[in-house]
């Protein structure tokens, strides 16, 4: 798999191996947002027969890919999934649309 220089640097800093990346790519939940693909490994995605050591390594792992190129990889045990599963609403757009009617 191809990866950016940034991804290689971050993987080395965070001690994430190639095999861990491959496992996460195979079992992770894919979400398309903001022009990239987030691959997030949830608890329920990890098979029960997986050794405990590997479970700890891949639980909460997030990979960010664009066009098959790994941009970055990190572990987030604080449930990053909730932040990326839905794009935030844009309240400024709605307010501007209705402001023209309140001036009458």
Q: Encode pLDDT of 31-72 as tens digits.
A: 888 888 999 898 888 999 989 998 888 988 999 999 989 999
The contacts of residue 54 (CB under 8 Å, 6+ apart) are 20, 23
Determine phi and psi for 55, rounding to 5 degrees.
-60, -45
Total domain count for the chain? 1
Residue 92 has pLDDT above 60, yes or no: no
Q: What is the pTM of this model?
A: 0.73
pLDDT of residue 98: 46
Q: Is the dihedral of CA 31, 33, 35, 40 positive or negative?
A: negative
> Which domain range does residue 75 map to?
2-102
Q: What is the DSSP string of 12-61?
A: HHHT--HHHHHHHHHHSEEEEETTEEEEE--GGGS-TTS-HHHHHHHTTE
Residue 104 has pLDDT above 50, yes or no: no
Segment 85-90 shows an average pLDDT of 60
Q: Encode pLDDT of 68-86 as tens digits.
A: 899 999 887 676 767 666 6
């Amino acid at each position: 798999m191809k990866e950016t220089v940034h991804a290689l640097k971050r993987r080395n800093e965070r001690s994430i191996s190639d095999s861990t990346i491959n496992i996460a790519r195979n079992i992770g939940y894919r979400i398309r947002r903001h022009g990239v693909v987030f691959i997030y490994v949830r608890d329920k995605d990890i098979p029960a027969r997986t050794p405990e050591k590997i479970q700890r390594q891949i639980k909460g792992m997030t990979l960010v890919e664009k066009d098959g190129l790994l941009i970055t990889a990190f572990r987030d045990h604080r449930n990053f999934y909730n932040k990326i599963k839905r794009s935030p609403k844009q309240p400024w757009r709605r307010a501007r649309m209705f402001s023209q009617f309140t001036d009458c």
